[in-house]
Chain A
Amino acid sequence: MGKKPMKFIGRGLVDKGDKKSAVGKIYLIIERCKGCNLCIEFCPKDVLKESSVFNKKGYHPPELIEVPGEKMCVGCGYCSLICPEFAIYTEIEEDEKEAE
């Protein structure tokens, strides 16, 4: 019991400052969407919202939120798995600065 209490570091990545989170690109096949809104509801980063336009079948496909800020797509691909219509998928954008 004589031990010193351990210093509390707190939750978070140790090398968070050096790492950048990935940036995802969202691809949408607009005519396949049936407007179930599962991608909008269950996106871990909340980057999607229902749009006001109609597709050919009369459903509202998703669109990106207007103010990105902190909420940016990280290309996790959850929407691609959760979409029952095979209408949305993500790709991770390659960093242009690193390529140079």
Chain B
Amino acid sequence: MSMEFDVDYEYQDRCMYMAESHPSDEMLRDDRIPHIWCTGCGCGEIISTYIEAVKELDINPDKVAIVSGIGCIGRAAGYLKFDSFHTTHGRAIPFATGLKVARPELDVSVISGDGDLFAIGGNHIIHAARRNMDILVICSNNYTYGMTGGQFSPATPIDSFTTTTPYGNCERPFNLCDLLASAGAAYVARWTSIHVRRLQKSIKEALTKKGFRFIEVLTPCPTGFGRRNKMGTAIDTSKFYQDHGKIDHGADTRDVRLEDPLSDFSIGTFVDLDKETYLEAKERIFSREVKK
């Protein structure tokens, strides 16, 4: 950053070393940092773990493409210094599908939120999973529409309070992992924003796989959701995730429903399959000899 600032120099000496840039800045549009996300928002962890995973795998950054929809985490496309596209509301998956079909050599990742992917784009995501389209989808699930002011989303748990459900939500939420596992995804995992090491490992694993890969990341939303549901600050929510997230690899996705935001929940890699992807099937069928 080139900003001039006045710092207490006594503090500087006493503290650790002051830096001007971060090692992640090579993959960040650092002129846009600091970002707009609230204090303690989990979106930043998704970006930093994604960058670390790309760095560790040593992928050429020119071959990585990020597509995101609308929402808080939709800003990810603007902050990551890859080929990125900020699409219209709910249409991140169709753009990513088209991009992957046209340029199969790219690693296409969709980073978007629960409202964008499952409400407005709900039909697109189940059909992308059905086709086993070769894209990685990272869904930041904060149980609400954060950017527009905390309305309820298809992932909001029953009984919880939002701006549009002031007496409590009467609708049952989607079980996102089960929805996509039954639609035919090749890799389904759930982590939280506090399990950053495991999340980084999971993104690394998913980037090396083929097929439709889905990672749900539970993120604290202290401003939009946590404030109305007595979940406290981002630290309280993160501590809750650390204590109540039970790692259960290979669990049946029907049992991992997030019913109550204040009870134990399962995290881990639930589905890890090797299936024929859409592009492989297309290759196989188009290369068949046609009988005349």
Contact = CB atoms under 8 A, between A and B. Distances in A.
Interface of A: 25-32, 34-38, 41-42, 51, 53, 55-56, 59, 63-64, 78, 80-87, 89
B17 A85 contact: no
A36 B40 contact: yes
6 contacts: A25-B16, A28-B18, A30-B7, A31-B1, A31-B5, A53-B8
Interface in B232-258: 234-235, 238-239
B15 A51 contact: yes
A42 B194 contact: yes
Nearest to A31: B5
B37 A81 contact: no
B52 interface: yes
A78 B44 contact: no
A26 B37 CA distance: 24
Contact of B16 (A38, A55, A56, A64): A64
**4 cross-chain pairs, A with B, having the tightest CB-CB distances, nearest first:** A84-B44, A26-B16, A36-B40, A27-B19
B17 A87 contact: no
Given A26-B17, A36-B39, A82-B194, 6 more contacts: A32-B22, A35-B39, A36-B40, A81-B48, A85-B34, A86-B24
Interface in B219-239: 234-235, 238-239
B248 to A, nearest CB: 22
B37 A84 contact: yes
A28 B5 CA distance: 14
B11 interface: yes
A28 B17 CA distance: 6
Contacts of B41: 84
Contacts of B197: 78, 81
- How large, as a class, is the contact surface on chain B? 35 or more
A51 B11 contact: yes
Interface string B54-76: 00000000000000000000000
Contact of B22 (A29, A37, A42): A29
Given A26-B16, A84-B44, A36 B234 contact: yes
B47 to A, nearest CB: 8
A49 to B, nearest CB: 10
B17 A25 contact: yes
A19 B3 CA distance: 43
A56 B5 CA distance: 7
A52 B196 CA distance: 28
B275 interface: no
A34 B33 CA distance: 12
A84 B42 contact: yes
Contacts of B47: 86
A29 B40 contact: no
A51 B8 CA distance: 11
Contacts of B11: 51, 53, 63
Nearest to A48: B16
B40 A84 contact: yes
Contacts of B260: none
B197 to A, nearest CB: 7
Contacts of A59: 39
